[in-house]
Structure 1
């Protein structure tokens, strides 16, 4: 096999190059300092408002906000200078190493042959200065991940080509490009009302920091205190939805602006996206194990879906900050035929659209759980009614709302529950509010786990969990009929037939 081309600025592989270490680009110091200073300046605005509402003098407000911004930016510049001084790296034909020498010396090493995913990102300041952050992921489940912040942009691009050993240079075709009209699907996410409630909570939290929360609440109550409670509740919900919609649209534009997804002849994928922070991510086609379609109720009502990739080395284990890695998204919320077409290009065959339904016992289990939730919610609603008799309507309203939502969720969940097995893939669909369809390459399934609770045993049901090197590593399908289970576990080979005796 032809050896990969050397990286510009990197040592030439050989015995003499073993001790040659390179440093990160010094332009990362002003870049990081500028970003932190901008964030602090933006945060200083609501802080200043809160201080003024609490009665603090203008001079003190300016001292705390401007002084805090300057102090924070200075501390960032010092920490970045130290990080640059203690961090070095080297690349040869076989390994890439990063060493940090401060109070102790730590060296992280990654085989270049195991690098499966490379992400190059650059925010506005980094793009202006010509640098970028490089993130590398290996192919192992929970495997190594290295981050280099930051390198010269040309060096970063050459490093990507070097580590992918020319795989990214094969012929490719464009699979999808962003349609600005897709932004209309962003508010249909289940996160939209949560974003709005979080925004309202932040406002009151900032006011509470400066002891202005009582004044803010009093100001609001003076204007709406005489309104009927249902009107006030509807107003709060409407405000949350408006704020959530603005946040969802803003996040969609930031994350997906300039989207372009290319599919190489060897199965590799290249994803470019981002407005303020541009990202260029490469996925090794030999490590792509499937895709996941996300279809919450809002998306289904509009005929939309979102697509994530399931690949070894990404979405498994934890990152350098100790946080659980998430499967990277490939396509944002868009007309369902768009992610379905991308799924077909990635998998090599169409994603199944007809699913085998699970037994009626699965629906009964969901209805029983919904009834239990209604009982609990009604019990909580009865507490204030027992203390204040004039609130007699609270448990009735709680029972009605919980019953309507619970019954709908139970029936919608049972309708969505299903699976499909074709010659090349296995599709597992479940959920209601978080409806997802995991479409896994049969060759990428490592095995199956079988789980049964006493209630499932009585109902003749079983939960199957597919193990694959990608995504969360485990893909759960609940309440499968016993007669349906062999069709699924045999996709990992006849050796798994021993599960029949479990």
Structure 2
């Protein structure tokens, strides 16, 4: 039985009225024409106001028509979304392909008690694999999320839950948003954001980018901004300023950037909670725009523990889940946006899987390769600059080469891999160090690669091909013996045919 078609919540029209969503689209085409007419003296200010009013009214009428012509429904197998004024389109999202459900509410949406529901799926009939319900009530959003992600485990398969099976020979009915939800599953909380963790935000590039972008825009137009004279004198560095004044301004700029990054982290992650509800992991966060992301636990295939250089210095980390078929993994798969390393490891063990096998270090030949790559290029540049009689530039290049020694050693120490009975772990990176723990059932193939230099050094690189995350994760510069041992431990059926081929050729595959 199919649920009746439903329209979006009518309160979305109020949101569009206040934000001028449709008016902006209309004025983008009408505005330039009106400006040309106004410059020619044929249209006064009253005429311009009239055009804006007419465009706004027309946009509201258009929004109302779009709302009237938009509907969605859930049948036994699919979410169906129909929309379009003249050309009608229908998008079908199979329920068994749903990977995640996001519920997002801006401050205005929260005031109107409506939300935006986004469905991420592995396949659909439209050009994108995502269906968007632009405005549903808060209650309907919760029910729809449960329906779209509801599964009943049968062996290793997950099937849609049958909420109402007829005992008199009738058909099974799939619940829709009008149904009363079943008893709420027990909730287990894995992590809550400690406000003190926001102090890590200035060490994360994505949060630093916000104040830097705003500051760059303001500095470009600082001459035209209405800044009080006293504040302008404090910000600007006068000609002939001493070292103390320059240092004070630099310190002030760094402080402003750090505070801006902290605020950006707070706006994005305030109130973060990660919990399991039934068969899903649910992450909620956001100060102004509240976002709820639901991930089906059965489709999680591992996690990535990432540490930028700053986070490593303070022993902090970020945690992201690897989910098959999920788009925008870095944003939607976040299990801990920022926090102490010990907390991230505990959340990974509790929410995904525990992995305690020590990582195997890579051979000294891998260290020599990293030192050569880090030191060789700047050292060569320094020699060339010396030959060109540019001593200052040569000294700078030599300093970079010396610093490359520490970088090469750090990159080598990051290398490691391990495997247990059910998972594989890989670690690499210096400026951004990542430890990937991947379930063996996620593997769809292996690729074995050796360059000419690697063959001479007795090294090889393995690529574990998967259907989640980035599609593959490298075991960089392990010895040939280590690669063979890893292949035998993780995929014994593949080891012989892979390594019997020429080592520089790629080989992938899974039988059956």
- Shorter-chain TM band: 0.7 to 0.9
Deviation, structure 1 residue 344 = 0.7
- Alpha-carbon distance in 1 for matches of 2:59, 2:119: 25
Bigger relative CO (Cα 8 Å, ≥ 6 apart): 1
Matched, 1:28 2:12: yes
Q: Could you tell me which residue of structure 2 aligns to residue 397 of structure 1?
A: 396
On the 8 A contact 2:94/2:123 being kept in 1, the answer is no
Q: Could you tell me which residue of structure 1 aligns to residue 447 of structure 2?
A: 449
* Ranges in structure 1 where 5+ consecutive residues have no aligned partner: 1-12, 41-61, 213-217, 317-323
Deviation, structure 1 residue 293 = 0.3
Alignment of 1:127-142 (within 5 A): 127-139=110-122
Q: Could you tell me which residue of structure 2 aligns to residue 88 of structure 1?
A: 71
Matched, 1:151 2:136: yes
Deviation, structure 1 residue 426 = 1.0
Q: 1:253 pairs with 254, 266, 282, which one?
A: 266
Alignment of 1:200-279 (within 5 A): 200-206=215-221, 223-227=237-241, 238=251, 241-264=254-277, 266=279, 268-279=280-291
- Alpha-carbon distance in 2 for matches of 1:368, 1:297: 21
Give 3-state SS (helix, strand or coil) of 1:420's partner.
strand
RMSD: 3.9
- Alpha-carbon distance in 2 for matches of 1:222, 1:156: 51
On the 8 A contact 1:344/1:351 being kept in 2, the answer is no
Alignment of 1:57-76 (within 5 A): none
Q: 2:190 pairs with 150, 175, 178, which one?
A: 175
Deviation, structure 1 residue 289 = 0.3
On the 8 A contact 2:427/2:433 being kept in 1, the answer is yes
Alignment of 1:282-297 (within 5 A): 282-297=294-309
Alignment of 1:329-478 (within 5 A): 329-352=334-357, 354-375=358-379, 378=382, 393-400=392-399, 402-478=400-476
Q: Could you tell me which residue of structure 2 aligns to residue 110 of structure 1?
A: 93
On the 8 A contact 1:445/1:492 being kept in 2, the answer is no
Deviation, structure 1 residue 356 = 0.8
On the 8 A contact 1:447/1:492 being kept in 2, the answer is no
Greater C-alpha Rg: 2
Deviation, structure 1 residue 68 = 12
Q: Could you tell me which residue of structure 2 aligns to residue 10 of structure 1?
A: none
Q: Could you tell me which residue of structure 1 aligns to residue 200 of structure 2?
A: 185
- Alpha-carbon distance in 1 for matches of 2:52, 2:257: 28
- Alpha-carbon distance in 2 for matches of 1:446, 1:473: 10
* Ranges in structure 2 where 5+ consecutive residues have no aligned partner: 25-44, 153-181, 227-231, 504-512
- CA deviation digits over 1:115-174, x for unaligned, max 9? 231111111111110100111122569982222112121111111111122679533311
Deviation, structure 1 residue 376 = 6.8
Deviation, structure 1 residue 499 = 1.5
On the 8 A contact 1:362/1:479 being kept in 2, the answer is yes
On the 8 A contact 2:120/2:327 being kept in 1, the answer is no
- Alpha-carbon distance in 2 for matches of 1:461, 1:315: 34
Deviation, structure 1 residue 470 = 1.7
